[in-house]
């Protein structure tokens, strides 16, 4: 009754922004992502008949009550499917910068879902895993898969049709994703709070929803035809729109800071000299830059020398859930 | 047949953003401004029976064809009212930084309208002047008046009810407006092009229009009750919304740059330490900061030492159209 799984973070190319159901983590809109090959969470779950409560160790420290409650909520779903009532010990190690627009909760809940269901002997397919992971953290449903992934928002009230599907494997199109870490601290508004405030109060939210299906369609066409420029343009457009919606919220807020802007301007400069690079920004100040692998060295060199840049991690499309043998962990 | 008038620029507190009629300069939404006491245009118009064409001298240089055509268009309207066909010599001097979010066209067309109509002996009231100035440049209709001014968008197709009214004189409420000039060049997208692109392509434009009347109402209440904090909040909220709409345009664009952001963050910092200062931003990177006159020295000191700040001009609410005696100009 023990299993270990690794899941990688993903960055949204077309953003998940707003829930229609806060409990089931059902999104207002479909989204599209790339799973990355560098940032991941490794989680071991061991169920045991002798435990009276779940135990959650995160990065070698006992997790706090809220973190434990989130984990227990997902374990409960898996216990319900398996019909087994055992409590579990969850040991999770994040190799992800947290709370700055890098979705550590995505890799975390994906790895937890995979490890826990395997530990209880369930043979779930990836759609079932994705649906479960979604109930830990929305974007976790995308980290079940590698490569290019679409999370279809679904229509059903119970969320049964809201899960992610792979649209292209990580082996089928190589891109460079530069994860640019800026000299600034953690974000002020969590993505959970940010999307709620935006959905409930921004006069721009309806405009966001009205254009998202077309954005998804354009991005999928670009991916299917390996059209990098088309993909880059829609990715930037979509990121701009997501961040615009926050400026209309009550009270308004923004995830960017002046360093974010500096990097945006640098990317625009790179394009003006013929290097096709495009950015996206999640719910935090840090920037991810997409480019063709042949340009990654030039883009890296250009950005790493900016005073506002603290570091750059170079990523490529990564795999989905990977199970590690328990012996290799023990 | 000669007259000289001076008009001051204004800054929009609730923004004019989008035209419903490109020829008559009719706006999609009402707007609200403060006329400033520091930036102005002085214009002398002399009509003469011996001229075969209008002549336009701008800042002691002969204006280009497009500039002349814009001036002639306004002179034609005034000639039509007066029934006189004389051509005129227009001599205009701007004391305004141009094309960086400081509306030099506002003071320019207001001064032109006033000087030209006086030179032809017309006795127009301020509403009539405002309506005419609007047809030179939309926001010019607000610079006819001093102090706090509302431009009511009107409903009529011919624009007869689209002009500005004073809502509070510059003597009735003193505010400090710090016009912060940044170390950056002119804007890339003109406000004319920017508002057109936004109106035609941004999915957020309808959200902008849906909330503008409430913004105007809130700002007017704040002005009537001299509630500075309430005014500052709605001014910032409205500026955020205007700039958010541009991020949804096709292609997206933005008037801010990283220096703009630095100043925004500094203002937020000032508020966190108890100094009530608020910003607004027009169609360019520069920032205007509103504060209580008792705080203006503190705010000035805080901002002037920022590396991105090139200079600050300290303004207060200024007067409307002023006529200068010709003898003093000759």
CA closest to A239 among chain B residues: B247
Residue A147's region, left for phi above 0, alpha for psi from -120 to 50, else beta, is left
Residue with tokens 């968008």: B153
Q: For position A291, what pLDDT does the model report? A: 98
Mark yes or no for CB contact B261/A258 under 8 Å: yes
> Does B208 touch chain A if contact means CB atoms closer than 8 Å?
yes
For residue A297, the distance in angstroms to the closest alpha carbon of chain B comes to 25
% of chain A with per-residue pLDDT over 70: 95
Mark yes or no for CB contact A259/B258 under 8 Å: yes
Mark yes or no for CB contact B203/A205 under 8 Å: no
Mark yes or no for CB contact B202/A207 under 8 Å: yes
What DSSP state is assigned to residue B325?
Answer: P
Kindly list the distances between the CA atom of residue B264 and the CA atoms of A312, A314, B308, in Å, as whole numbers in the listed order.
27, 31, 12
Q: Categorize the per-residue pLDDT at A186 as very low, low, confident or very high, splitting at 50, 70 and 90.
A: low
Q: For position B329, what pLDDT does the model report? A: 47
Contacts for B327 with CB less than 8 Å, ≥ 6 apart: none
CA closest to A265 among chain B residues: B257
Mark yes or no for CB contact B252/A259 under 8 Å: no
Contacts of B204 in chain A (CB under 8 A): 203-204, 207-208, 241, 244-245, 248
> Does A230 touch chain B if contact means CB atoms closer than 8 Å?
no
Give the CA count within 13 Å in the CB-facing half-sphere of B215.
Answer: 31
Do you know the residue count of chain B?
330
ω into B4 cis (within 30 of 0): no
For residue A268, the distance in angstroms to the closest alpha carbon of chain B comes to 11
- Binding-face residues of B in 79-118 toward A, CB within 8 A: none
Q: Categorize the per-residue pLDDT at A100 as very low, low, confident or very high, splitting at 50, 70 and 90.
A: very low
> Does A29 touch chain B if contact means CB atoms closer than 8 Å?
no
Nearest to A240 among B205, B236, B247 (CB): B247
> Does A17 touch chain B if contact means CB atoms closer than 8 Å?
no
For residue B170, the distance in angstroms to the closest alpha carbon of chain A comes to 30
For residue B23, the distance in angstroms to the closest alpha carbon of chain A comes to 28
Question: What values do phi and psi take at B20, rounded to 5?
Answer: -100, -15
Strands A26-27 and A61-62, bridge-based pairing: unpaired
Nearest to A204 among B207, B260, B265 (CB): B207
Kindly list the distances between the CA atom of residue B80 and the CA atoms of B5, B73, B75, B84, B85, in Å, as whole numbers in the listed order.
20, 11, 8, 7, 8
Contacts of B230 in chain A (CB under 8 A): none
Distance CA B150, CA B138 (A): 12
CA closest to A253 among chain B residues: B240
> Does B185 touch chain A if contact means CB atoms closer than 8 Å?
no
> Does B210 touch chain A if contact means CB atoms closer than 8 Å?
yes
Q: For position B98, what pLDDT does the model report? A: 56
Mark yes or no for CB contact A204/B248 under 8 Å: yes
Question: What values do phi and psi take at A120, rounded to 5?
Answer: -90, 5
Low-confidence ranges of chain B (pLDDT < 50): 99-101, 329-330
Question: What values do phi and psi take at B72, rounded to 5?
Answer: -60, -35
> Does A203 touch chain B if contact means CB atoms closer than 8 Å?
yes
Q: Which of A61, A67, A49 is nearest to A2 (CA)?
A: A49
Q: For position B253, what pLDDT does the model report? A: 95
- Each residue of A114-143: pLDDT tens digit? 999 999 999 999 999 999 999 999 999 999
> Does B237 touch chain A if contact means CB atoms closer than 8 Å?
yes
> Does A258 touch chain B if contact means CB atoms closer than 8 Å?
yes
Q: For position B185, what pLDDT does the model report? A: 61
Question: What values do phi and psi take at B179, rounded to 5?
Answer: -95, 110
Contacts of A261 in chain B (CB under 8 A): 256-258, 260-261
Q: Which of A318, A320, A319, A322 is nearest to A118 (CA)?
A: A322
- Each residue of A218-274: pLDDT tens digit? 999 999 999 999 999 999 999 999 999 999 999 999 999 899 999 999 999 999 999
CA closest to A240 among chain B residues: B247
Q: Which of A261, A262, A294, A260 is nearest to A277 (CA)?
A: A294
For residue B197, the distance in angstroms to the closest alpha carbon of chain A comes to 15
Interface confidence, given as ipTM, is 0.85
Q: For position A101, what pLDDT does the model report? A: 46
Q: For position B239, what pLDDT does the model report? A: 98
For residue A299, the distance in angstroms to the closest alpha carbon of chain B comes to 20
Give the CA count within 13 Å in the CB-facing half-sphere of A287.
Answer: 28
- Each residue of B29-38: pLDDT tens digit? 999 999 999 9
Residue A327, pLDDT > 70, answer no
Distance CA A277, CA A262 (A): 15
- Each residue of A197-224: pLDDT tens digit? 999 999 999 999 999 999 999 999 999 9
Contacts for A24 with CB less than 8 Å, ≥ 6 apart: A134, A135, A158, A159, A162
Contacts of B252 in chain A (CB under 8 A): 236-237, 240-241
Q: What is the mean pLDDT of chain A?
A: 94
Distance CA B35, CA B165 (A): 12
> Does A250 touch chain B if contact means CB atoms closer than 8 Å?
yes
Q: For position A97, what pLDDT does the model report? A: 67
- Under 8 Å between Cβ of A41 and A93: yes
Mutate to test the interface with B, among A17, A207, A268, A278 (most CBs of B within 10 A): A207
Mark yes or no for CB contact B247/A243 under 8 Å: yes
Contacts of B258 in chain A (CB under 8 A): 258-259, 261-262, 265
Q: For position B105, what pLDDT does the model report? A: 87
Name the H helices within B83-121.
104-119
Distance CA A86, CA B5 (A): 86
């Amino acid at each position: 009754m023990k299993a270990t799984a690794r899941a990688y973070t993903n960055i949204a190319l077309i953003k998940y922004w707003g829930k229609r159901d806060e409990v089931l983590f059902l999104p207002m809109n479909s989204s599209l992502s790339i799973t990355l090959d560098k940032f991941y969470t490794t989680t071991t779950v061991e169920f045991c008949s002798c435990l009276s409560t779940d135990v959650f160790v995160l990065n070698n420290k006992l997790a706090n009550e809220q973190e434990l409650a989130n984990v227990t909520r997902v374990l409960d779903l898996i216990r319900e499917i398996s019909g087994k009532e055992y409590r579990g010990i969850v040991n999770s190690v994040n190799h992800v910068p947290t709370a700055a627009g890098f979705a550590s909760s995505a890799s975390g809940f994906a790895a937890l879902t995979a490890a826990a269901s395997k530990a209880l002997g369930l043979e779930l397919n990836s759609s079932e895993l994705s649906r479960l992971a979604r109930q830990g953290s929305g974007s976790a449903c995308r980290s079940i898969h590698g490569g290019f992934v679409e999370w279809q928002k679904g229509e059903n009230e119970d969320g049964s049709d809201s899960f992610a599907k792979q649209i292209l494997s990580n082996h089928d199109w190589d891109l460079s994703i530069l994860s640019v870490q800026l000299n600034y601290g953690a974000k002020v508004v969590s993505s959970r709070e940010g999307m709620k405030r935006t959905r409930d109060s921004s006069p721009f939210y309806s405009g966001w929803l009205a254009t998202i299906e077309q954005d998804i369609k354009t991005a999928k066409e670009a991916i299917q035809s390996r059209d990098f420029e088309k993909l880059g343009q829609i990715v930037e457009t979509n990121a701009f729109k997501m961040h615009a919606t926050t400026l209309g919220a009550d009270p308004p807020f923004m995830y960017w800071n002046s360093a974010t802007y500096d990097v945006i301007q640098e990317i625009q400069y790179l394009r003006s000299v013929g290097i096709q690079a495009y950015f996206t920004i999640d719910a935090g100040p840090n920037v991810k830059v997409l480019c063709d692998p042949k340009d990654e060295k030039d883009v890296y060199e250009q950005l790493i020398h900016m005073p506002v840049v603290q570091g750059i991690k170079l990523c490529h499309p990564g795999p989905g859930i990977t199970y590690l043998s328990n012996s290799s962990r023990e």
